[in-house]
Structure 1
Amino acid sequence: LGFKAGEATLRFETVPGGVKISTRAESAPWISIFYRVDDRAESIILRGTDGEGNTVWYPKSYHLKIREGRHRRDKEVIFSERGRHALFIDHLKGERKEYDLPPGTFDPLSGFFLLRGVDLVPGKSVISRIFDSKKVWDVQVKVLRTEKIDTYMGERRTVVVKPELKSEGIFLRKGDVFIFLTDDDRKLPLLLKTRVLVGSVLAELRGGRF
């Protein structure tokens, strides 16, 4: 993935009724002199039940702030009606627009959190429905392989997946995104890898209870 452009983190924390997922990527000081990177994304999803008493998840909000060189993004999505309706806000352009969404739609960050509830078999693919860039995308997620990686919790066996993203996503990326989930029933996302203009981004899980 090239040289490391800086530091990135991935965090989960419980909030009333659900979970908050956040990422932040910052360029190294020597890179920031000529190309500063400060990308942040935050998603909140809520836990509920369906008509049969089964646990279901639905999105509450998503906020993306990107600064990469001269590029800026400051976008927000506020979901309602259990994810069936979305208010899109572009804070830099002063744009606000409402959208109706099909069932099971999530934002780019929480959509991959929900992979935890899917049977991930190497060589197979699953579909994650994402609202991003003012459109709904049925994103194919390829399950590539299992791999052992070193983490702050020690060595862990993971399942590596690659979303076939066609929308903006959570970085101004220049290549594929790879997500490393623990190869167990919890499927904790331990690592996210991608590329930006000046190098690689490795977002590592650094804390949280979920």
Structure 2
Amino acid sequence: MKKSAYTLLLLLFILCAASPGAHATSIPETLNYQLTWTGVKIGTSTLSTSSAGSSVEITSRVKSEAWSAPFYKVDDLETSKLERVGKGFALHSYKMKLREGRNDWYRAASVNRKSKRFEFVNLRSFEKSSAKLVEPAWDPVSSLFYLRQLPLTVGRSVEVNVLDKGKLNRVKVSVLRRETVQTPAGTFKTIVISPNMDIESEGLFYARGPLTIWLTDDARKVPVIIEKRISDLFREGIPGYLQQFTPESVRNNIPKMETIRAVLVGGNY
């Protein structure tokens, strides 16, 4: 097993997930999360939304705990800017700088509505590319902003266009059930959704495997819990340096070993 490919891939889960006309959620908004793996705190994340004139900026930050640095250090920053279109907002531009273990991704994208193209640039190599703009379209961060505006009905699914890595991904989001959950931020009635992330990209958010999000069952749809399972993470066995952190009962529960959980602990929302 390669440490950079498997180990604390567990350390991160980027909190994002999800047209012109998307209306704003509560702004300003700050959501603070604690990331855990098998009950152990492995990092923190903040998702903040603010307004600047007629635009909206969404920032996602994820950092691993200091103890994880020898294994898999994570320091991720993503920024999405939306512009007003009609009565709502639409994607304007996106920038990401991810550091996950030995991986280092740095790229940007912008929307050119005049030419109806989505333009990409790798900020390491400065290689450029473009793709046809199919609206409504969102980046990995603003997709959750858009998803929170949609009416969600248990048993039905919705679809979201996510533009990333130079291409358009059509992501199906299943609405599973209603459930009451407890978090450090309080007890919430939620509606549970599951985006189908069977696509290729970079960073943990797009790692293959089930993704489940608990949104408050109200108009705000605040994400209070996010779980990501990275399927086959330990298909070659659990490395010795991780076994010291996990009791035998946990090591024998592979689905739990493969799951990262982000839980709301506070903020302004």
Which runs of 4 or more aligned residues in structure 1 lie more than 6 Å from their structure 2 counterparts after TM superposition? 196-199
**What CA distance in whole angstroms lies between the structure 2 residues aligned with 1:100 and 1:205?**
39
Tell which deviates more after alignment, 7-16 or 171-180.
Answer: 171-180
Return 133-142 or 84-93, whichever deviates more.
84-93
Compared CA separation, residues 18 and 156, structure 1 to 2 (3 A): farther
Instruction: State the shift of 1:185 in Å.
Output: 1.9
2:178 is aligned to: 146
**Counterpart contact for 1:150–1:156, Cα < 8 Å:** yes
**Pick aligned residue for 1:167 from 200, 216, 221:** 200
Q: Is the 8 A contact 1:11 1:207 kept in 2?
A: no
- TM-score w.r.t. the length of structure 1 is 0.83
1:14 counterpart letter in structure 2: S
Question: What is the CA–CA distance in structure 2 between the aligned matches of 1:100 and 1:25, rounded to whole Å?
Answer: 30
Aligned to 1:35: 72
Q: Does structure 1 residue 188 correspond to structure 2 residue 225?
A: no
Residue 91 (structure 1) shift: 1.0
Q: Which secondary structure state, in structure 2, belongs to the residue aligned with residue 119 of structure 1?
A: coil
What is the one-letter code of the residue matched to 2:194?
Answer: K
Query: Percent same amino acid at aligned positions?
Result: 30
- Residues 130 and 166, structure 2, Cα contact 8 Å, conserved in 1: no
State the distance in 2 between where 1:64 and 1:22 align: 10
Cα 1:95–1:195 change in 2 (3 A) is: farther
* Shift in Å, 1:179: 2.3
Structure 1 vs Structure 2 CA RMSD:
2.7
Q: Which amino acid aligns with 1:29?
A: A
Structure 1 residue 59, shift from structure 2 partner: 0.2
In the alignment, what sits opposite 1:200? 260
Alpha-carbon deviation of 1:131? 0.7
* 1:124 alignment partner in structure 2: 156
The one of 99, 103, 116 aligned to 1:67: 99
Q: Report the counterpart of residue 11 of structure 1 in structure 2.
A: 48
Larger mean CA deviation between 18-27 and 72-81 belongs to 18-27
| Greater gyration radius | 2
- Deviation of 1:201 after TM superposition, in Å, equals 5.1
Range with bigger deviation, 11-20 or 163-172: 163-172
**Consecutive unaligned residues in structure 1, runs of 5 or more:** 50-54
Aligned equivalents of 1:15, 1:102: Cα separation in 2: 26
In the other structure, the counterpart of 1:56 is 88
Q: Contact 1:58/1:104 (CA < 8 Å) preserved in 2?
A: yes
1:87 match: 119
Residue correspondence of structure 1 range 88-103 to structure 2 within 5 A:
88-103=120-135
The SS at the match of 1:5 is strand
Deviation of residue 120 (structure 1)?
0.9
Structure number having the greater strand percentage: 1
Task: Return the alpha-carbon distance in structure 2 between the equivalents of residues 114 and 82 of structure 1.
Answer: 22
Give the CA deviation at 1:144: 1.7
Q: Any unmatched runs of 5+ in structure 2?
A: 1-35, 234-241, 243-258
- The range that moved more, 187-196 or 62-71, is 187-196
Of 59, 67, 73, which aligns to 1:22? Answer: 59
Contact (CA 8 Å) 1:64, 1:170: kept in 2 or not?
A: no
Q: Give CA-to-partner distance per residue, 1:108-157, whole Å, 9 cap, x none.
A: 22122112222211222100011112111111011122222345652221
Q: How many pairs align?
A: 204
Tell me which residue corresponds to 2:210.
176
- Greater shift, 138-147 or 167-176, is seen at 167-176
